[in-house]
A and B are shown apart, each in its own frame.
Chain A
Amino acid sequence: MTTNVDGQVRDRETPPGLQRYPGWWVVAAQESRDLWVGGRGLVLVLAVSVLLSVVTYLAATNRVLNFLEQREAVNLVLQVAVAVGVLLTLVVGADGISGERERGTLESLLLTPVPRRAIGLGKAAAALSLWFAVFLVSMPYVWVLGRAISLVTTALLVGLFVGTVLAAALAAIGLVISGVSTSNKASLSVSLFLLLALFAPTQLPGGPPKGWFGDALVWVNPVGSALHYIGGVVVNGYGWTHELPYLAAPLLAFVLAGGVLLLAGPRIVRLTGGVNGE
């Protein structure tokens, strides 16, 4: 539908061969174009590929020296890809609303009839494209390290599945933080601090603390438990259902953050930041 100058609404018939897309799709397509054609996405992915090259080289060298078991080398590269992929997704999400507010471009977007939750969904989808690009870049590295032990398919599938759930959750978290933040700087700082807090336990020397407390820490941490799950499948050769409970935290984060973004979208995607309304 559209409006004539006299204010009467007329139905806009779609001529054969032409297609209309839902608002979230139009937002996602344009945001992705801005991300990739604008060059920001390409630079980030180039940086990721350099990082993966270094990690792969070190892992391969260590494997020859028998320091790192081949499965562990694949796991290392996959975990780096997931970690960096979700980090970038979170950062793009955290810039999604507060960044547009500060650049003055959000108001014109809000003035369209596209529902605000659809705007949030479109932005999340665009942020997620960065994760898929990072995953795509990581594929040859996983193949190089895993082809000799027939681990490539399993590693790529588990990485794609778990990484996508985690990236979607963090994109939604980033957008929610961005929506309620009063400045873009605050949004990016809070998001990065959150990611650091989630990653820190997985990087402790000797792994996470042992015992029930350590287990609980891994279980409630979506990043920690997702990486643990990937490690279980890739390194230990577990079946996909063997450590299924470790997927609970990433899935719960995905459902909760996605739910908040969709349900509270009209209150989050708005002209002013903060949590106290307009």
Chain B
Amino acid sequence: MDQILTVIVDGIIYSSWLFVAAIGLTLIYGVMKIVNLTHGSFYALGAYAGASFTGAWLARGYPPMLSYAVLLASALIVALVVAPLIERGILRFMYAKDEVVIMLITYALFLILEDVIKLVWGVDPYFIAEPYGLLGSFEVGEMTYPTYNLILVGIAIVSGGGLTLLLRGTRFGKLLRTVIHDPEVSRAMGINVDRFYLVTFTFGSLLAAIGGAFTAPTVSVVPGLGVEIIVLSFAVIVIGGMGSLPGAALGAVIVGLVRSAAIHYAPAVELFVIYFVMALVLAFRPRGLFSLAEPRKI
């Protein structure tokens, strides 16, 4: 029983992390219909900025409890600066192109950003563990978990719930859903679709950066951080259905639990099992678990 509990708690924590990492990607795909590979870059940017700013903050002896705010601020800074640059500077001209071409363009941008990060922050690992241990720990059964993990869960809930509220309850959300449904018609109705795209791209990238920033205290921040997250995020949103918010949640939970179970019961297949599930879903329900139709050909 205890083992199952551990698997579940581990799974939930991992799922929260996955969810936060993935919702930006599914948001951007849902609204702009583009597969955005710079997602990994923003995750890495958030992690690096978070680690370096917080490191500097703590080194100066400022209150450690505020380091969480610093993490958030770091994510905000990188996202609000870099995302609009990319969207306005390059992507904006590419929307008419084929979806695979756009994906390739974001791939090229990702490659460039990987090295930009190396140039700015160097190749040595960043390690800021303090925020991780600051909040103490709690126990579930026989296992002890740092309370910090609850922050991840909290962020997941807040961002998921917040976005849902935004989409359903606000005027902005309604307009956004119109744009999602049909950009051409929206434009004809006078909606500034370009502005919506800019906002969506920035916000989606911000979410990725937040995911990266708050992961920074739990790992060693090294080059290549962004690469893994891209494929992982894709697995999550493909399973749940690309463009679907509840789908991302479902995908995150499934991947999180499956991976947790794998680690505990069959560690050899840990890496393999996530992609296997993704391939399975693509094979039988390519639009994700949250849809009914299938894009099969004759």
A and B assemble together:
no
Q: Which residues of A contact B (CB under 8 A)?
A: none
